[in-house]
Amino acid sequence: MLSMFFAPEIKEAAKAAVGQAAAATPAPATLPKLPPLETAHPWAMPTQASTFAESTDNLYFFITALSVFFFVLIMGAMFYFMKKYARRSEDQKTSSITHNGKIEFLWSAIPAVLLVVIFAWGEIDWIKQTTPPADAIDIRVTGQQWTWKVDYPDYPGVFLTSAMDEPLVTMMVPKGRPVRLIMTSEDVLHSFYVPAFRVKKDLVPGRYTTMWFEATTVGEFNLFCAEYCGERHSSMGGVVKVLEPEQFEAALREAAKLEQKATESPKDFGGRIYKRRGCDACHTLDDSPGNGPTWKGLYGKKETLSGGETLTVDDDYLRESILTPRVKVVAGYENVNMPSYQGQLDDKQITALIEFIKAQK
Amino acid sequence: MATPDKHSATDGAHAREPSFYTSKRGLMSWIITLDHKRLGMMYLAGTMFFFLIGGVAALTLRTELLTPELDLVTSATTYNKLFTVHGAVMVFLVIIPSVPAALGNFLLPLMLGAKDVAFPKLNLLSFWIYTLGACFFIYTLFAGSLDTGWTFYTPYSSNGGAQGTAVISATFGAFILGFSSILTGLNFLVTVHKMRAPGLTWNRLPLFVWAIYATAVIQILATPVLAITLMLLIIERTLNIGIFDPAMGGDPVLFQHFFWFYSHPAVYIMILPGFGIISELVAVHSRKHIFGYKAIALSSVAIAIISFLVWGHHMFVSGQSELAGVVFSFLTFAVAVPTAIKVFSWVATLYKGSIAFNTPMLYALAFLFTFTIGGLTGVFLGALSVDIHLHDTYFVVAHFHYVMMGGTIIAFIGGLHHWWPKMTGRMFNEAHGRWGCLIVFIGFNMTFFNQFIVGQQGMPRRYATYVPQFQLQHVLSTIGSYILGLGLFWTLFYLLRSLKTGAQATDNPYGGASLEWMTQSPPIEHNFHGQPRVDTDPYNFPQIDRSGGMDHH
Amino acid sequence: MSSAHGQSPKPPHAFFQHHYNTVEQQAGAAKLGMRAFLATEILMFSGLFLAYFIIRMFYPEMVLGSHELLSKTMGGINTVVLLTSSFTMAMAVRSAQVGNTKGIVINLYLTIACACIFMVVKYFEYTGKFENGIFPGKYFDYARASEYARAHGHELVGLPHIFFGIYFCMTGLHGVHVLVGIGVLIWILVRAKKGHFGPQYFTPVENVGLYWHIVDLVWIFLFPLLYLVK
C-alpha cells in the first residue's frame, strides 16, 4: 500500500537527518528533529507500554464498537429510507406520523444507559490513574521553553535534559515499578505526554502537578509536549527509555554523566554541554535572535547592562552569568528569567562551556 | 401533492413588487439600514469574506504539513501564527455569527410573521460593532499577528511570550465582537417572545426559531463572561495585575476556567442554529411532519442549559481537581442524550416521506453523516481515561472539525441553498449544487477522518513539524483539504453566478409551509402585506397536500 | 389584531414604532429587552466577583491586610448617595406614571446630582490611593503603600497589588457604568423637559430606572465585600 511507498523514504530521510545533525554544529535556526522511532504501519494504535495502556485501549475499543454499531444503524436506516422513500411522483403521499412516545423513550433511555456505563468505566480507570501507589519512585520534571529537565530525588546529582538533536534520553524508568512524576514549569504551560503509556498531564508554572505510571515493556518511547508553549512547541519532544530494573540505576548514572571524554577537547565538551543542559533553547550560535543573547561573537564583546553600565564579556562574567544569572543582566533581557545552574554544572563543565563560547567567533 | 408553483397563488393576488433590495437606493440606505433582511445579507457577505481568509490560512498550514519538516513555512512562529489566525477568525468572525446573524437575521421576522426584529436600531448597531471587531482582527494580522492559539492560554498570552500589541488588539477585537453577539441574542430573544403573529403559539414555531431562541439564551448568558475574561487578560498584559500570571501570584488554570465557561456554551451557539436548519430542510424536502417536534424543541433548551455545566471537560489534564473531572465527565455525557435524540428524530422524519434529493436535502443528509461522527467522537473525549490519551492530539482537532465544519458549516451551506431563492429571488443551478455537495463531502471526510487516526497514534495538535511515521495520514488529509477547498470555491462560484443568470424564483419553490414562504422572493421591504395569521404548525405537509395547497390569509 | 384579554388596544402615541402592531407590544418588548440586557451585566460583574472570591480564598491574610486601606467613610458616603439616587429615580418613574412632568424633571436632576457626587467622591478616593503609591498591577509602589499602611496601624502582607488590582477593576468598571448612567439620565431628562413622557408612554424612564437600580445593586454587593467584610 501507500505506506510501502513512503516507509523506505522516511527511513532514509530520518537516517540522513540524524547523521547530519550529529556531524554538524547545532544550528537552531532550523527546527531540530525528533528522534525517529520504528515506523509502525500507518493505521496502528501505539504500542501498549504501561499498565494503563491496555484498559484505556479496551475502553477506547468499546466506545469504537458502540459508535460503529450506532453509526451503521443510523446511516443504514437513513440510506434505506433514502432509497425506499425517494420522491417518485409529485403526488406521492406521505405519512402523518408526528411522534411515537415509546420509540422516543427507548432511543433516549438506551443511549443514556450506555453513556453511564462508558462514564463509569472511564471514571474507574481515572481513579486508578490519579492514585499513585505508595512505593512509587519519584521523578521531578521541570518544563522550560523548550526543553525537559528531569531529576531523580532518590538519586541526587542525576540531571537529564533532553537535547534536541541527539537521540538522547529525556527520562529513564525501570520496567515494572510505579513511577510518580512531580512536575512544574519555569515559564508557560507545557504538557508531558507519552502516547505509548497513554498518560498526559499539564505542567503549570507556580504549582506542582503529579501523575504516575508503570512501564511494562523495555524500549524507547516518544515523549511529546502536548500544550502549546510557543515557537518550538513542536520540537519539545524526547524519549522515555524503559530499562530492566537491574540495569536501571547503572544506566541512569551513565546517562547523567557529563564528563569530558578522553579524546575530546574542552571546546567540544562544552559543545555537548551546550546541548545537554539546554543552553541551546535560548542562546543561538549564528547571531539569530533567541530568548537570550547569541553566543556568536560574545566573548570579548562590550555589553551594556540593564542598569546602564558597560562591561567586556570575559571568563568571570560568563561564570557569574551561569551561576547567578540575574545579577548582571544585559539590557533588553530584563524580563527573561534565566535559571541558575548552581549545583547543576561543576567547575570543569563551566570551564568547558566558556571555551566553547570563546570559540564562537 | 401541490406543485411548488401552486403555493405562489397565495401571493398571486399581489403583483410583483419592488423587493427590499430596490425599495430604497444608494449606499447610505445600506449603511444605516434598519431592515433586518439587508443586515442579514451584509452579515452574510462579512462572514463569507472571513471564511475565505480563515480557509486560506488553513490550506496554507495543511500544505506545510505535507512533510514532517518545515519547508513552505520557513519558521515555526509563522506556522503558529497561521493556526492562531485560522482558529480565531473561524470561531469569532465566521461560525459564531454565521447562522444567527446572517440566516437568523433574515429569516426570524419572516418566520414569525413580523415586520422586523424587536429593536431594529440595535440590530444595525450589532452589525457595525461586528465590523469594528473585525477591523481589530485585521489590524492584528498586519501588526505582526499573534501566535497564542485562539484560546489565549496564560501565561504565554499574558506574559510577553507572544508578539507585542497583537495580543491586545486581537483580544480587544474579540471583546467587541462579543457585544455584537450579545446584542443580536438579546434582539432575537425579545423578538421571539413579543412579535409572533396571531395564532403562532410556541408549539407552532418552526424549529429554526426554537433553535435561534435557545442560541439567544446562551449568547446573553455566556458572552458577558467572555467579555470579562478578555478584559482581565488585557489588564493582566498591560498592568500585570497578577490574576493569571504565577510570577505575580496568579493562577493560569483560573484563566482556563474563565475562558471555557464561555467557550463551551459558545460551541453550542455554533451548533444549535445548525440543528434548526436541518429540522427545516429534512421536513420540507421529505414533505413530512418533523418527527418528535416537542423533543427537538425542548432538547434545544436542555442543551442550552446543560452546556453551562460542562466546561471542565476541556481541562481534565490541566491540574484541576480529580473530583471536578468526574463531575464534568458525567455532565458531558448528559448533554449527549438530547443531541442524540435529535439525530434519531431527523432520520425518523424520512420514514414514509417523499424525499427529494435536491441540493439542500443532500447537505442535510451529509450533515447527518458528518455530525453523527462528530458527536460520537465526543463520547471518546468525555470518558476520563480515554481523554487523557486523546487530549490535545489531532483526535480533538478532528472531533471539533467534524462538529463545527461537518455540523455547522454544512448545515449553513444547506440552509443557504434552501433559502437562496427567498433571499436573492434566483434559483441556482441544481446540477452544479449537487456536484458541489459531493465534492465538499468527499473532501471534508478525506481531510478530517485521518486526523482521528493520527491523533490516537499520539500526534499532538499545534505542531509545525512531526515524527515521520505520521506523514501518510497528513498527506491524505492535505489532499482532502484541497478537494474541500475546490468544492467550496465551486459553490461560491455557481451561487454568485446564479445572481446573474439564475432562473427567477417563485415565492415557494420547495413547498415549505412556514411563513417566510408565504411572501415574495425576495420579500418586500415590510415582509408581508398586512399581518399574517397562523392556524397550524408549519410541518403539516400531508394535510396540506391532501387539501390541495396552502391558504394562509 | 392583537388584543390583550378583551381590552381594546391603546391608541398609538408619538413614539410608536411601526414595526410593532400595538403600543403594548412595543412597551413589553422594551421591558423584556432591558431585563435581558441587565442579565448580561450581572453575569459580567459575576466574573469579577468570582475573581475576588478566588483571590480571597488563595490569600486570606493579604486581602484582610490590604482592604483596611480602603476608605470606609468614602465608601459609606457613596453607598448612601447611590441609595438616595435609586429612591429619586423611582420617584421619577412614579411621576411619569401619573403624568407629573415637573416631578420627573426634578427627580431626574436629583438622581443626576447624586450620581455626580458619587463620581466626585470616587475621584477623591482614587487620588487618595494614588498619592500613597497604591496603583493597579505593576505600578503598585510596595514601599510607599507599606509606609502608608503602617502610618494607619495596618500591615501589608503578601502580594497586595493583586487585591488592589481587583479593587480598581471592580470599582472602575462600576464607575464606568455610573458615568454611562449619567449620560443616559441626561438624555431622559432632556426628553422629559420636552414633554415626551406621560401615563401613556414612559417606558424609557422605566427602563433607565431599571438600569440605574442594577448599578446601585452592584454597588450594594461591592461595598461590603471589598470594604467591610473581615
Q: What is the mean pLDDT of residues B437-446?
A: 97
Residue C211: what pLDDT? 96
- Domains of chain A, by residue range, sit at 46-67+101-257, 266-358
Residue B229: what pLDDT? 92
Q: Show the DSSP H helices in B457-531 as ranges.
A: 471-501
Residues 434-453 of chain B whose Cβ lies under 8 A from any Cβ of chain A? 453
Q: Is the pLDDT of residue B144 over 90?
A: no
Sheet bearing A190-194, strands edge to edge? A171-174, A238-243, A219-225, A190-194, A199-203
CB of B118 closer than 8 Å to CB of C33 = yes
C-beta atoms of C46 and B189 within 8 A? no
Q: Would you place residue B185 in the very low, low, confident or very high pLDDT band (cuts 50, 70, 90)?
A: very high
Residues 92-121 of chain B whose Cβ lies under 8 A from any Cβ of chain C? 114-120
B110-131 residues labelled b (16+ CB within 10 A) or e (exposed): bbbbbbbbbbbebbbbbbebbe
Q: What is the mean pLDDT of residues A130-157?
A: 87
Please give the Cα distance from A309 to A311 (Å, whole number). 7
Residue B550: what pLDDT? 52
C-beta atoms of A231 and B76 within 8 A? yes
Greater pLDDT, C145 or B418: B418
Q: Would you place residue A203 in the very low, low, confident or very high pLDDT band (cuts 50, 70, 90)?
A: very high
Residue A64: what pLDDT? 95
Is the domain A46-67+101-257 a CATH 2.40.50.100 member? no
Residue A14: what pLDDT? 40
Q: Is the pLDDT of residue A253 over 50?
A: yes
Q: Would you place residue B292 in the very low, low, confident or very high pLDDT band (cuts 50, 70, 90)?
A: very high
Residue C15 lies in a domain: no
Please write the tens of the pLDDT for every residue from A291-331: 888 899 889 889 888 888 899 999 999 999 899 988 888 88
C-beta atoms of A81 and B347 within 8 A? yes
Q: Would you place residue B16 in the very low, low, confident or very high pLDDT band (cuts 50, 70, 90)?
A: confident
Q: Does C143 touch chain B (CB under 8 A)?
A: no
For residue B392, give the chain A residue with the closest CA.
A226
B320-333 residues labelled b (16+ CB within 10 A) or e (exposed): beeeebbebbbbbb
Q: Show the DSSP H helices in B286-321 as ranges.
A: 293-306
Helix (H) or strand (E) holding B172: helix B164-194
Closest to B465 (Cβ–Cβ): which among A45, A99, A235?
A235
Q: Is the pLDDT of residue A31 over 60?
A: no
Distance from the Cα of C86 to chain B's closest Cα (Å) equals 25
Q: Is the pLDDT of residue B258 over 80?
A: yes
Query: Radius of gyration over alpha carbons of chain B, in Å?
Result: 23
Domains in chain B, number: 1
Could you identify the residue written with the cell 521523578?
Answer: A139
Q: Is the pLDDT of residue A16 over 60?
A: no
Q: Would you place residue A32 in the very low, low, confident or very high pLDDT band (cuts 50, 70, 90)?
A: very low
Return the closest-CA partner of residue A197 out of A179, A182, A185: A179
Greater pLDDT, A329 or C3: A329
Residue B138: what pLDDT? 86
| Chains B, C: CB pairs < 8 Å | 113
Residue C8: what pLDDT? 66
Residue B284: what pLDDT? 95
Other beta carbons less than 10 A from residue B59's beta carbon:
17
Closest to B357 (Cβ–Cβ): which among A43, A86, A234?
A86
C-beta atoms of B251 and C58 within 8 A? yes
C-beta atoms of B319 and A201 within 8 A? yes
Expressed as residue numbers, the domain containing C212 is 21-228
Distance from the Cα of A91 to chain B's closest Cα (Å) equals 4
CB of B373 closer than 8 Å to CB of B410 = no
The CATH number of A266-358 is 1.10.760.10
Please give the Cα distance from A281 to A292 (Å, whole number). 9
Instruction: State yes or no: chains B and A have 3 or more CB pairs below 8 A.
Output: yes
Handedness of CA C103, C104, C110, C111 (dihedral sign): positive
Residue C161 lies in a domain: yes
Q: Which of B112, B186, B230 to mutate to test the interface with C (most CBs of C within 10 A)?
A: B186
Q: Would you place residue B151 in the very low, low, confident or very high pLDDT band (cuts 50, 70, 90)?
A: very high
Query: For chain A, what's the residue count?
Result: 361
- The 3-state DSSP class for residue C157 equals coil
Distance from the Cα of C96 to chain B's closest Cα (Å) equals 23
Q: Does C54 touch chain B (CB under 8 A)?
A: yes
Residue C4 lies in a domain: no
Please write the tens of the pLDDT for every residue from B514-541: 999 999 989 999 999 889 999 888 998 8
Expressed as residue numbers, the domain containing B325 is 4-552
Q: Would you place residue A217 in the very low, low, confident or very high pLDDT band (cuts 50, 70, 90)?
A: very high
Distance from the Cα of B161 to chain A's closest Cα (Å) equals 7
Domains in chain C, number: 1
Greater pLDDT, B354 or A166: B354
Could you identify the residue written with the cell 420627573?
Answer: C104
Q: Is the pLDDT of residue A47 over 70?
A: yes
CB of A33 closer than 8 Å to CB of A27 = no
Residue B267 in grid coordinates: 460551541
Q: Would you place residue B14 in the very low, low, confident or very high pLDDT band (cuts 50, 70, 90)?
A: low
ipTM of this complex prediction, to 2 decimal places: 0.91
Task: Give a three-class secondary structure readout of B246-267.
Answer: HHHCCCHHHHHHHHHHHHHHHH
Residues 128-147 of chain B whose Cβ lies under 8 A from any Cβ of chain A? 147
C-beta atoms of B239 and C18 within 8 A? no
Closest to B149 (Cβ–Cβ): which among A191, A226, A228?
A228
Residue C150: what pLDDT? 87
Q: Which of C25, C37, C43, C168 to mutate to test the interface with B (most CBs of B within 10 A)?
A: C43
Residue C117 lies in a domain: yes
Residue A40: what pLDDT? 59
Q: What is the mean pLDDT of residues B350-367?
A: 95
Q: What is the mean pLDDT of residues A275-295?
A: 82
